[in-house]
Chain A
Amino acid sequence: MISPAARPAPRPAAVRALPIRPRPAAGDTPATYIRRLARANHLRPAYLKRYLRDDATGQPSIDMLAALAARPASSLMHAFSQDAPARRRYLTGSRRQELFETIRRDAGTRHRSIRALADDYGLHRRVIRQALAAQAPRPRKPRGPSRPRPSRLDPCTAIIDAILDEDLRDPRRPARTNKQILNHLITEHNATGVSYAMVARYAGSQRSLRPRPRQPAAASPGAAVRPAPQAAWSPAHQAIEQHDLAQLRELLDAGSDAEDETQDGLTLLRHAIHREHTAHVERGGPHHAGMTVLLLARGADPHHLRDGTSIETEAEILGHWLAAEVIRAWKPAPR
């Protein structure tokens, strides 16, 4: 019945089309298209890449890819080339005016229909009609002020800043690595949805803003994430770091400056808000604003800016809503 010879070889010389064939999109490269083809057909991309590899060049063979996709090789080449119509760009101002003039000229000399012009220019027929009606291009619709995309890292940025600042203050200790910072965020602040890459990108950008003086590293990099109370800190800052309201009050009573500021602009008030927030995150209880209120009562400046960020905003970002409300209520009061 079936002679084995009649059966085609396991890998036929001619490539057959894949069962599921997504189209190539503008801006695809052979690599991205192979990846999409493979994913659509539940194959591993590396597998398909190996299948398509041209032994002579080591590159994927476009002819085989075209056969797999059941499309002419020329159309694939076109999609992969730069000529493919990429995302339409919105021309503004005088360039749009010029475009309208070109369209009017085309309609007059080449007798193109509105539909054909719309196809030619990749514009909507409505826009072509506007151009033909000799209208000036409408000004572009105003867009709201651009706002940076929110990130899951947002609640953590202040903490990372604080860690980086701490590292900067004590150059003898080895700076904490991104991995250590990430672990700190996860274990100490219950951060979720934060990846190493997110931390690395943010911490990297922030480090570049804080040039670290080159000094030989003293200890091994495996140092504890949570720093011991810093010797360089003033007693008041230390009290805040220990979340010791009574100690802070004593120090202030004894004449400590409520505007005590570290080298990098961390005021007592800002430090207190961070510490209170950390306590809230760690213990899970409600927010307390004892130190914040005490410092405000003792004349700490709520309008202090660091890197252009007000203390109120920082409290808001951290989610320390109680502190933010107190500061907001405090602001109009005469000082």
Chain B
Amino acid sequence: MVSTGKPVTAGHGPAVTGSDPHRHLTTLEGWRDFIHVAPAPPALLPGDRYAALGEDARRAYDDERLDYHTRLGVVATSTLRKVVTTGRRLTLLNRHAISARQGLILSGPAGTGKTTAIAQFGKTHEAIDRDRHPGQDRIPVIYATVPPAATPRMLAMEFARFLGLPVLPRANMTDIIEAVCGVAVDMRVSAVLVDEIHNMQLATRSGAEVSDTLKYFSERLPATFVYAGIDLEHQGLFTGIRGRQIAGRFTLIPAVAFPLSGEWQSLIVTLEEALRLHQHQPGTLAMLDRYLHQRTGGMIGSLSHLIRGAAIEAILTGTERITRKQLETLDIDHAAQQSSAPRPAARHRTSAR
């Protein structure tokens, strides 16, 4: 199943279309773009008509395809489906909870599609909310990332920045939190997605304070909280008093690298079918599943990056096909390159752009 909209990139929120620097998943405008933009795959011209295209027409046509391949659709992995269904179930359960709402934590190595999964959950939730309340101005979902070396104030500012509340350098934290909570309650926020939660180190003082701030938000907002981060269970997120409280409140869904199995093959087939290349032999990539698994270490993010990179290369060079030889020339992220086995060196996340 391929739905277009968001590229499967590792790392933080993928860039959304548009040149505006604020069009980012972590702003309301960017999030809404992500919710609403669903570009249709461009139609592939027949070979003779493609050959007959003039210089300018061909460039425009290729540009459109390049654009499409840079953000190939979301591949529905089993993790993604699980996150969406578990998240939805929790939001229903939490709808009438007065306090102690249950949350969801998505944990796993880099490049396993965590951000994609929680963003997709947010998209689903927002779509259902819009159906239930058509025509109302609501903000059902907040998406924020924990900044590196976060302090509670920085976290509160992230929430304020998502909502578009102006934050002066001198603003005190209480005011920011009050404004965020007030607006969030008024706008009926019912799901809060917090990404990069591994930036919150419970062992440090500021990390513990950030955790308390998140806890406070979860008490103030009648919403389901979904966290995502790298290897959280090994980072001490569930140890100590705060950790035990988190462990008691949250359902953990592990995001893991794919083993070389039927699902891996089906992912490759899905991605291959989404390609819009003229000379590509369908089934080439499916045949290369073992090679691709060895290259990417079973990471969906690396796989998507590799195939999209190859597709763009194919359009730019005019070969219009992806071959093993071409795949071998492409560089891939460090984590995947380090791993020859399915178990990757998880601590390193590299920018897979």
Taking a contact as CB atoms under 8 Å apart, the answer to whether A18 and B12 are in contact is no
User: Which of A1, A14, A48 sits near B351, CB closer than 8 Å?
Assistant: A1
Distance in Å from the Cβ of A84 to the closest Cβ of chain B?
A: 24
Taking a contact as CB atoms under 8 Å apart, the answer to whether B169 and A10 are in contact is yes
- Asked whether A44 is an interface residue with its Cβ less than 8 Å from the other chain, the reply is yes
* Interface size of B in residues (CB-CB distance below 8 Å): 35
Taking a contact as CB atoms under 8 Å apart, the answer to whether B147 and A2 are in contact is yes
Taking a contact as CB atoms under 8 Å apart, the answer to whether A4 and B148 are in contact is yes
> How far, in angstroms, from A42 to B157 measured CA to CA in the complex?
15
Known contacts A2-B147, A2-B148, A42-B183: does B164 contact A17 (CB below 8 Å)? yes
- Asked whether A324 is an interface residue with its Cβ less than 8 Å from the other chain, the reply is no
Known contacts A8-B22, A16-B164, A43-B175: does B12 contact A1 (CB below 8 Å)? yes
Taking a contact as CB atoms under 8 Å apart, the answer to whether A43 and B167 are in contact is no
Distance in Å from the Cβ of A61 to the closest Cβ of chain B?
A: 12
User: Which of B12, B165, B166, B350 sits near A2, CB closer than 8 Å?
Assistant: B12
Known contacts A2-B196, A19-B28, A19-B183: does B165 contact A41 (CB below 8 Å)? yes
Taking a contact as CB atoms under 8 Å apart, the answer to whether A68 and B166 are in contact is yes
Taking a contact as CB atoms under 8 Å apart, the answer to whether B166 and A51 are in contact is yes
> How far, in angstroms, from A2 to B15 measured CA to CA in the complex?
13
**Which residues of chain A from 147 to 198 have a CB within 8 Å of any chain B CB?**
none
Known contacts A1-B12, A2-B11, A2-B145: does B167 contact A19 (CB below 8 Å)? no
Which residues on the B side are within 8 Å of A20 (C-beta)?
183, 186-187
**Which residues of chain A from 1 to 29 have a CB within 8 Å of any chain B CB?**
1-2, 4, 7-8, 10-12, 14-20
Name the residue of chain B whose CB is nearest to the CB of A14: B22
Taking a contact as CB atoms under 8 Å apart, the answer to whether B168 and A50 are in contact is yes
Which residues on the B side are within 8 Å of A44 (C-beta)?
175
Interface string of B182-211 (1 = CB under 8 A from A): 110011000000001000000000000000
Which residues on the B side are within 8 Å of A4 (C-beta)?
147-148
Interface string of B22-51 (1 = CB under 8 A from A): 101001110000000000000000000000
Is chain B's binding surface mostly helix, strand, loop or mixed? Answer: loop
- Asked whether B249 is an interface residue with its Cβ less than 8 Å from the other chain, the reply is no
Distance in Å from the Cβ of B111 to the closest Cβ of chain A?
A: 11
- Asked whether A47 is an interface residue with its Cβ less than 8 Å from the other chain, the reply is yes
Known contacts A19-B163, A47-B168, A50-B168: does B12 contact A42 (CB below 8 Å)? no
- Asked whether B212 is an interface residue with its Cβ less than 8 Å from the other chain, the reply is no
Distance in Å from the Cβ of A38 to the closest Cβ of chain B?
A: 9
**Which residues of chain A from 68 to 110 have a CB within 8 Å of any chain B CB?**
68
Can you name 7 A-B residue pairings with CB atoms under 8 Å? A2-B11, A2-B12, A4-B148, A8-B24, A16-B166, A18-B166, A20-B183
Name the residue of chain B whose CB is nearest to the CB of A21: B137
- Asked whether B139 is an interface residue with its Cβ less than 8 Å from the other chain, the reply is yes
> How far, in angstroms, from A68 to B168 measured CA to CA in the complex?
14
- Asked whether B179 is an interface residue with its Cβ less than 8 Å from the other chain, the reply is yes
- Asked whether B67 is an interface residue with its Cβ less than 8 Å from the other chain, the reply is no
Taking a contact as CB atoms under 8 Å apart, the answer to whether B165 and A43 are in contact is yes
7 pairs of A and B residues whose beta carbons are closest in the complex: A42-B182, A16-B164, A1-B349, A42-B179, A19-B163, A51-B166, A43-B179
Which residues on the B side are within 8 Å of A1 (C-beta)?
11-12, 110, 196, 349-351
> How far, in angstroms, from A47 to B174 measured CA to CA in the complex?
13
User: Which of B139, B168, B196 sits near A11, CB closer than 8 Å?
Assistant: B168
Give B contacts to A, CB under 8 Å: 11-12, 21-22, 24, 27-29, 110, 139, 145, 147-148, 157, 161, 163-169, 171, 175, 178-179, 181-183, 186-187, 196, 349-351
Name the residue of chain B whose CB is nearest to the CB of A51: B166
> How far, in angstroms, from A8 to B21 measured CA to CA in the complex?
8
Taking a contact as CB atoms under 8 Å apart, the answer to whether B22 and A10 are in contact is no
Distance in Å from the Cβ of A24 to the closest Cβ of chain B?
A: 17
Which residues on the B side are within 8 Å of A18 (C-beta)?
164-166
16 additional A-B residue pairs with CB within 8 Å, beyond A4-B147, A11-B166, A18-B164: A2-B145, A8-B21, A8-B22, A10-B157, A11-B169, A12-B22, A14-B22, A15-B166, A16-B29, A16-B166, A40-B186, A41-B165, A48-B166, A50-B168, A51-B166, A51-B168
Which residues on the A side are within 8 Å of B29 (C-beta)?
16-17
Distance in Å from the Cβ of B220 to the closest Cβ of chain A?
A: 12
Taking a contact as CB atoms under 8 Å apart, the answer to whether A11 and B148 are in contact is no
Which residues on the B side are within 8 Å of A43 (C-beta)?
165-166, 175, 179
> How far, in angstroms, from A1 to B195 measured CA to CA in the complex?
12
Name the residue of chain A whose CB is nearest to the CB of B349: A1
Name the residue of chain A whose CB is nearest to the CB of B147: A7
Name the residue of chain A whose CB is nearest to the CB of B182: A42
Distance in Å from the Cβ of B213 to the closest Cβ of chain A?
A: 17
**Which residues of chain A from 307 to 330 have a CB within 8 Å of any chain B CB?**
none
> How far, in angstroms, from A7 to B21 measured CA to CA in the complex?
10
Taking a contact as CB atoms under 8 Å apart, the answer to whether B179 and A41 are in contact is yes
Which residues on the B side are within 8 Å of A8 (C-beta)?
21-22, 24, 161
Which residues on the B side are within 8 Å of A7 (C-beta)?
147
Distance in Å from the Cβ of B60 to the closest Cβ of chain A?
A: 30
Name the residue of chain B whose CB is nearest to the CB of A41: B183
Distance in Å from the Cβ of A71 to the closest Cβ of chain B?
A: 14
Which residues on the B side are within 8 Å of A40 (C-beta)?
186
Known contacts A19-B187, A20-B187: does B182 contact A41 (CB below 8 Å)? yes
Distance in Å from the Cβ of A273 to the closest Cβ of chain B?
A: 52
Name the residue of chain B whose CB is nearest to the CB of A18: B164
Which residues on the A side are within 8 Å of B28 (C-beta)?
16, 19
Q: Which of A18, A42, A47 has the most CB of B within 10 A?
A: A42
Distance in Å from the Cβ of A135 to the closest Cβ of chain B?
A: 41
Distance in Å from the Cβ of A326 to the closest Cβ of chain B?
A: 57
Name the residue of chain A whose CB is nearest to the CB of B154: A10
> How far, in angstroms, from A48 to B169 measured CA to CA in the complex?
13
User: Which of B145, B166, B178 sits near A42, CB closer than 8 Å?
Assistant: B178
Taking a contact as CB atoms under 8 Å apart, the answer to whether B171 and A47 are in contact is yes
Name the residue of chain A whose CB is nearest to the CB of B22: A16
Distance in Å from the Cβ of A37 to the closest Cβ of chain B?
A: 10
Distance in Å from the Cβ of B256 to the closest Cβ of chain A?
A: 19
